[in-house]
Amino acid sequence: MRKVLIAYRLKPEGLKALEGKYDITLPVDKSYFTKEEVLEMIPDYEVLVPNFSFYTDKQIMDRAKKLELISNYGVGFNNIDVDYATRKGIAVTNIPNSTREPTAEFAFALLLAAGRRIGYYDRKLRAPEGVSWGVYAESGMRVYGKTLGIIGMGRIGQSLARRAVASGMEIIYHNRNRLDETIEQQYNARYVAFEELLKTADYISLNAPYTPQTHHMIGEEQLKMMKSTAVFINTARGSMVDEKALAKALRENTIWAAGLDVYENEPRILPELLELDNVVLAPHAATKTIEDRINMSIEMTQNIVGFYEGTYSVSRVN
Protein backbone atom coordinates (compact mmCIF):
# COMPACT_ATOMS: atom_id res chain seq x y z
CA MET A 1 0.00 0.00 0.00
CA ARG A 2 1.47 3.36 -1.06
CA LYS A 3 2.07 5.86 1.72
CA VAL A 4 0.81 9.46 1.52
CA LEU A 5 2.21 12.17 3.81
CA ILE A 6 -0.12 15.17 4.15
CA ALA A 7 1.71 18.09 5.74
CA TYR A 8 -1.44 19.95 6.85
CA ARG A 9 -4.41 18.68 8.83
CA LEU A 10 -7.22 18.35 6.29
CA LYS A 11 -10.80 17.36 6.99
CA PRO A 12 -11.54 13.66 6.37
CA GLU A 13 -14.52 14.50 4.12
CA GLY A 14 -12.11 15.46 1.37
CA LEU A 15 -9.89 12.38 1.66
CA LYS A 16 -12.42 9.61 1.02
CA ALA A 17 -10.93 8.67 -2.36
CA LEU A 18 -7.77 7.51 -0.57
CA GLU A 19 -9.44 5.46 2.18
CA GLY A 20 -8.62 1.78 2.16
CA LYS A 21 -6.24 2.09 -0.78
CA TYR A 22 -3.48 4.33 0.57
CA ASP A 23 -1.75 4.60 3.93
CA ILE A 24 -2.36 8.22 5.00
CA THR A 25 -0.40 10.17 7.60
CA LEU A 26 -1.47 13.68 8.60
CA PRO A 27 -1.29 15.81 11.76
CA VAL A 28 -3.79 14.78 14.41
CA ASP A 29 -3.30 17.06 17.40
CA LYS A 30 -1.95 20.14 15.59
CA SER A 31 -2.47 22.05 12.34
CA TYR A 32 0.64 21.05 10.39
CA PHE A 33 3.92 19.17 10.38
CA THR A 34 7.07 21.25 10.60
CA LYS A 35 9.74 20.93 7.95
CA GLU A 36 11.90 19.04 10.43
CA GLU A 37 9.12 16.52 11.02
CA VAL A 38 8.56 16.10 7.28
CA LEU A 39 12.28 15.55 6.77
CA GLU A 40 12.25 12.83 9.40
CA MET A 41 9.22 11.00 7.95
CA ILE A 42 9.55 11.51 4.19
CA PRO A 43 11.99 8.64 3.36
CA ASP A 44 9.13 6.15 3.77
CA TYR A 45 6.56 7.90 1.56
CA GLU A 46 5.70 7.74 -2.14
CA VAL A 47 3.43 10.82 -2.06
CA LEU A 48 3.80 14.20 -0.36
CA VAL A 49 0.93 16.69 -0.05
CA PRO A 50 2.23 20.16 0.84
CA ASN A 51 -0.09 23.14 1.11
CA PHE A 52 0.56 26.46 -0.61
CA SER A 53 2.65 27.81 2.29
CA PHE A 54 4.89 24.74 2.75
CA TYR A 55 8.04 25.00 0.66
CA THR A 56 9.12 21.67 -0.79
CA ASP A 57 12.77 22.07 -1.68
CA LYS A 58 15.86 20.10 -2.70
CA GLN A 59 16.57 19.11 0.90
CA ILE A 60 13.20 17.39 1.27
CA MET A 61 13.35 15.71 -2.14
CA ASP A 62 16.87 14.39 -1.55
CA ARG A 63 15.65 12.76 1.68
CA ALA A 64 12.57 11.34 -0.06
CA LYS A 65 14.09 8.16 -1.50
CA LYS A 66 10.71 6.69 -2.48
CA LEU A 67 8.94 9.90 -3.50
CA GLU A 68 7.09 9.67 -6.82
CA LEU A 69 4.45 12.40 -6.57
CA ILE A 70 4.02 15.82 -4.97
CA SER A 71 0.28 16.50 -5.00
CA ASN A 72 0.06 20.18 -4.13
CA TYR A 73 -2.86 21.47 -2.10
CA GLY A 74 -3.10 24.72 -4.06
CA VAL A 75 -3.23 26.06 -7.60
CA GLY A 76 0.01 28.04 -7.42
CA PHE A 77 3.14 25.88 -7.20
CA ASN A 78 5.88 28.38 -6.40
CA ASN A 79 6.07 26.59 -3.02
CA ILE A 80 7.69 23.65 -4.83
CA ASP A 81 11.05 23.47 -6.59
CA VAL A 82 9.44 22.06 -9.73
CA ASP A 83 12.64 22.10 -11.77
CA TYR A 84 14.44 19.96 -9.22
CA ALA A 85 11.45 17.63 -8.90
CA THR A 86 11.53 17.15 -12.67
CA ARG A 87 15.23 16.31 -12.58
CA LYS A 88 14.52 13.77 -9.83
CA GLY A 89 11.70 12.20 -11.84
CA ILE A 90 9.06 13.32 -9.32
CA ALA A 91 5.67 14.34 -10.73
CA VAL A 92 4.06 17.55 -9.44
CA THR A 93 0.34 18.28 -9.61
CA ASN A 94 -1.87 21.22 -8.65
CA ILE A 95 -5.60 21.90 -8.25
CA PRO A 96 -6.79 24.57 -10.73
CA ASN A 97 -10.48 23.62 -10.88
CA SER A 98 -11.61 23.76 -7.25
CA THR A 99 -9.78 27.06 -6.69
CA ARG A 100 -11.13 28.88 -9.76
CA GLU A 101 -14.51 30.20 -8.62
CA PRO A 102 -13.71 31.01 -4.96
CA THR A 103 -10.59 32.95 -5.96
CA ALA A 104 -12.48 34.95 -8.59
CA GLU A 105 -15.28 35.55 -6.10
CA PHE A 106 -12.82 36.85 -3.51
CA ALA A 107 -11.01 39.05 -6.02
CA PHE A 108 -14.32 40.70 -6.89
CA ALA A 109 -15.15 41.05 -3.20
CA LEU A 110 -11.83 42.86 -2.65
CA LEU A 111 -12.56 45.04 -5.67
CA LEU A 112 -15.88 46.10 -4.16
CA ALA A 113 -14.50 46.46 -0.64
CA ALA A 114 -11.56 48.63 -1.73
CA GLY A 115 -13.38 50.66 -4.36
CA ARG A 116 -16.53 51.31 -2.36
CA ARG A 117 -14.51 51.69 0.87
CA ILE A 118 -16.47 49.04 2.76
CA GLY A 119 -13.54 48.04 4.95
CA TYR A 120 -12.70 51.70 5.65
CA TYR A 121 -16.27 52.54 6.69
CA ASP A 122 -16.49 49.49 8.93
CA ARG A 123 -13.24 50.37 10.75
CA LYS A 124 -14.13 54.04 11.18
CA LEU A 125 -17.66 53.39 12.46
CA ARG A 126 -16.15 51.24 15.22
CA ALA A 127 -13.53 53.87 16.14
CA PRO A 128 -14.12 56.83 18.48
CA GLU A 129 -13.52 59.38 15.70
CA GLY A 130 -16.19 57.78 13.51
CA VAL A 131 -16.76 58.62 9.86
CA SER A 132 -18.44 61.53 8.10
CA TRP A 133 -22.09 61.06 7.12
CA GLY A 134 -21.88 64.05 4.78
CA VAL A 135 -23.15 63.92 1.21
CA TYR A 136 -19.72 63.94 -0.45
CA ALA A 137 -17.21 63.37 2.36
CA GLU A 138 -15.08 60.20 2.34
CA SER A 139 -16.70 58.89 -0.82
CA GLY A 140 -15.87 55.67 -2.61
CA MET A 141 -15.26 54.86 -6.28
CA ARG A 142 -18.04 53.74 -8.62
CA VAL A 143 -17.81 50.22 -10.09
CA TYR A 144 -20.63 50.18 -12.65
CA GLY A 145 -19.44 51.45 -16.03
CA LYS A 146 -15.77 51.37 -15.05
CA THR A 147 -12.97 49.45 -16.81
CA LEU A 148 -11.45 46.38 -15.20
CA GLY A 149 -7.98 45.46 -16.42
CA ILE A 150 -7.17 41.79 -15.83
CA ILE A 151 -3.51 40.76 -15.87
CA GLY A 152 -3.67 37.02 -16.53
CA MET A 153 -6.93 36.06 -18.26
CA GLY A 154 -6.78 32.34 -17.48
CA ARG A 155 -9.39 30.33 -15.59
CA ILE A 156 -9.58 32.67 -12.60
CA GLY A 157 -9.28 35.81 -14.71
CA GLN A 158 -12.19 34.69 -16.90
CA SER A 159 -14.34 33.86 -13.87
CA LEU A 160 -13.58 37.32 -12.49
CA ALA A 161 -14.49 38.85 -15.86
CA ARG A 162 -17.85 37.09 -15.77
CA ARG A 163 -18.66 38.70 -12.42
CA ALA A 164 -17.44 42.10 -13.55
CA VAL A 165 -19.50 42.03 -16.75
CA ALA A 166 -22.59 41.15 -14.70
CA SER A 167 -21.88 44.29 -12.65
CA GLY A 168 -21.68 46.52 -15.73
CA MET A 169 -17.91 46.77 -16.08
CA GLU A 170 -15.86 46.93 -19.29
CA ILE A 171 -13.06 44.34 -19.61
CA ILE A 172 -9.57 44.77 -20.96
CA TYR A 173 -6.88 42.17 -20.38
CA HIS A 174 -3.24 41.30 -20.92
CA ASN A 175 -1.81 37.79 -21.32
CA ARG A 176 1.40 36.34 -22.63
CA ASN A 177 -0.78 35.15 -25.52
CA ARG A 178 -4.02 36.62 -26.78
CA LEU A 179 -7.13 34.50 -26.15
CA ASP A 180 -9.23 32.98 -28.88
CA GLU A 181 -11.75 35.43 -30.28
CA THR A 182 -14.67 33.29 -29.10
CA ILE A 183 -13.50 33.63 -25.48
CA GLU A 184 -13.04 37.38 -25.86
CA GLN A 185 -16.59 37.68 -27.16
CA GLN A 186 -18.01 35.95 -24.07
CA TYR A 187 -16.86 38.88 -21.95
CA ASN A 188 -16.67 41.56 -24.65
CA ALA A 189 -13.02 41.68 -23.58
CA ARG A 190 -10.33 43.58 -25.43
CA TYR A 191 -6.67 42.51 -25.52
CA VAL A 192 -4.25 45.37 -24.84
CA ALA A 193 -0.55 45.83 -24.20
CA PHE A 194 0.58 45.68 -20.57
CA GLU A 195 1.38 49.40 -20.42
CA GLU A 196 -1.96 50.38 -21.96
CA LEU A 197 -3.80 48.32 -19.37
CA LEU A 198 -1.93 50.01 -16.54
CA LYS A 199 -2.63 53.49 -17.94
CA THR A 200 -6.32 53.08 -18.81
CA ALA A 201 -7.96 50.65 -16.34
CA ASP A 202 -9.93 51.99 -13.38
CA TYR A 203 -9.55 48.70 -11.53
CA ILE A 204 -6.59 46.35 -12.05
CA SER A 205 -6.60 42.72 -10.93
CA LEU A 206 -3.47 40.58 -10.90
CA ASN A 207 -4.36 36.97 -11.72
CA ALA A 208 -1.27 35.66 -13.53
CA PRO A 209 0.81 32.73 -12.24
CA TYR A 210 4.06 33.37 -10.40
CA THR A 211 7.25 32.64 -12.33
CA PRO A 212 10.74 34.10 -12.02
CA GLN A 213 9.77 36.34 -14.96
CA THR A 214 6.71 37.76 -13.12
CA HIS A 215 8.60 38.52 -9.89
CA HIS A 216 7.88 42.18 -8.99
CA MET A 217 6.08 42.71 -12.30
CA ILE A 218 4.22 45.48 -10.45
CA GLY A 219 6.72 47.93 -9.04
CA GLU A 220 7.25 51.67 -8.73
CA GLU A 221 7.42 52.20 -12.50
CA GLN A 222 4.19 50.31 -13.15
CA LEU A 223 2.34 51.94 -10.26
CA LYS A 224 3.21 55.39 -11.59
CA MET A 225 1.62 54.43 -14.91
CA MET A 226 -1.73 53.81 -13.22
CA LYS A 227 -4.43 56.42 -12.81
CA SER A 228 -4.43 58.32 -9.55
CA THR A 229 -7.95 56.91 -9.08
CA ALA A 230 -6.90 53.32 -9.81
CA VAL A 231 -7.74 50.43 -7.47
CA PHE A 232 -5.27 47.51 -7.51
CA ILE A 233 -6.27 43.96 -6.53
CA ASN A 234 -3.90 41.04 -5.93
CA THR A 235 -5.10 37.48 -5.31
CA ALA A 236 -2.23 35.88 -7.29
CA ARG A 237 1.09 35.82 -5.41
CA GLY A 238 2.62 38.45 -3.16
CA SER A 239 6.08 38.23 -4.74
CA MET A 240 4.69 39.52 -8.03
CA VAL A 241 4.36 42.96 -6.41
CA ASP A 242 7.03 45.17 -4.87
CA GLU A 243 5.20 45.71 -1.58
CA LYS A 244 7.31 48.65 -0.47
CA ALA A 245 6.61 50.42 -3.76
CA LEU A 246 2.91 49.64 -3.40
CA ALA A 247 2.77 50.98 0.16
CA LYS A 248 4.53 54.16 -1.01
CA ALA A 249 2.10 54.58 -3.91
CA LEU A 250 -0.88 54.19 -1.57
CA ARG A 251 0.56 56.51 1.05
CA GLU A 252 1.36 59.22 -1.51
CA ASN A 253 -1.95 58.72 -3.38
CA THR A 254 -0.18 57.69 -6.58
CA ILE A 255 -3.05 55.20 -6.80
CA TRP A 256 -6.31 55.41 -4.91
CA ALA A 257 -6.68 52.06 -3.15
CA ALA A 258 -5.76 48.37 -3.10
CA GLY A 259 -7.19 45.02 -2.00
CA LEU A 260 -4.65 42.33 -1.11
CA ASP A 261 -4.97 38.67 -0.22
CA VAL A 262 -1.32 37.69 -0.76
CA TYR A 263 2.00 39.09 0.45
CA GLU A 264 5.71 38.82 -0.23
CA ASN A 265 6.60 37.26 3.13
CA GLU A 266 3.46 35.50 4.34
CA PRO A 267 2.25 35.39 7.02
CA ARG A 268 4.18 38.58 7.78
CA ILE A 269 2.58 41.70 6.35
CA LEU A 270 4.63 44.81 5.62
CA PRO A 271 4.03 47.16 8.60
CA GLU A 272 3.55 50.13 6.26
CA LEU A 273 0.52 48.42 4.73
CA LEU A 274 -1.05 47.88 8.14
CA GLU A 275 -0.93 51.62 8.80
CA LEU A 276 -2.89 52.60 5.68
CA ASP A 277 -6.63 53.25 5.45
CA ASN A 278 -6.80 52.85 1.67
CA VAL A 279 -5.94 49.17 1.51
CA VAL A 280 -8.13 46.16 2.33
CA LEU A 281 -6.12 43.23 3.70
CA ALA A 282 -7.04 39.54 3.89
CA PRO A 283 -5.02 36.52 5.14
CA HIS A 284 -4.64 34.50 1.91
CA ALA A 285 -8.31 33.62 2.28
CA ALA A 286 -9.59 33.49 -1.31
CA THR A 287 -10.50 29.80 -1.03
CA LYS A 288 -11.19 29.91 2.69
CA THR A 289 -14.65 28.43 3.02
CA ILE A 290 -15.12 24.96 4.46
CA GLU A 291 -16.88 23.80 1.30
CA ASP A 292 -14.15 25.09 -1.00
CA ARG A 293 -11.32 23.71 1.12
CA ILE A 294 -12.97 20.27 1.09
CA ASN A 295 -13.39 20.53 -2.69
CA MET A 296 -9.68 21.33 -2.92
CA SER A 297 -8.90 18.17 -0.94
CA ILE A 298 -11.09 16.12 -3.26
CA GLU A 299 -9.29 17.45 -6.34
CA MET A 300 -5.93 16.84 -4.67
CA THR A 301 -6.83 13.22 -3.87
CA GLN A 302 -8.14 12.71 -7.41
CA ASN A 303 -4.71 13.73 -8.69
CA ILE A 304 -3.17 10.99 -6.54
CA VAL A 305 -5.67 8.31 -7.55
CA GLY A 306 -5.52 9.40 -11.18
CA PHE A 307 -1.73 9.30 -11.18
CA TYR A 308 -1.59 5.73 -9.92
CA GLU A 309 -4.85 4.23 -11.14
CA GLY A 310 -5.78 6.30 -14.20
CA THR A 311 -9.37 6.78 -13.02
CA TYR A 312 -9.23 10.61 -12.95
CA SER A 313 -7.55 13.20 -15.12
CA VAL A 314 -4.38 14.53 -13.51
CA SER A 315 -3.38 18.19 -13.42
CA ARG A 316 0.39 17.91 -13.88
CA VAL A 317 2.68 20.92 -13.88
CA ASN A 318 5.82 19.08 -14.99
Q: How far apart are CA 90 and CA 159, in angstroms?
A: 31
C-alpha to C-alpha distance for 260 and 154, rounded to whole angstroms: 19
d(CA 109, CA 133): 24
267 burial (CB, 10 Å; 0-12 / 13-18 / 19+) is: exposed
143 with 111: CB under 8 angstroms?
A: yes
For 109, phi then psi, to 5°, come to -65, -45
Active site residue 116: no
Catalytic residue among 100, 163, 174, 237: 237
| Cα(87)–Cα(108) distance, integer angstroms | 39
Number of H helices, E strands in the chain: 12, 12
190 a catalytic residue: no
Q: Based on the number of CB atoms within 10 Å of its own CB, is 199 exposed (0-12), middle (13-18) or buried (19 or more)?
A: middle
Round to whole Å and give the CA distance between 59 and 90.
14
Alpha-carbon dihedral sign for residues 236, 238, 241, 246:
positive
Residue 237 annotated among the catalytic residues of the structure: yes
Please identify which of the residues 117, 163, 174, 284 carries the catalytic annotation: 284
| Cβ-based neighbours of 211, under 8 Å, separated by 6 or more | 78
Which are the catalytic amino acids?
A: 237, 266, 284
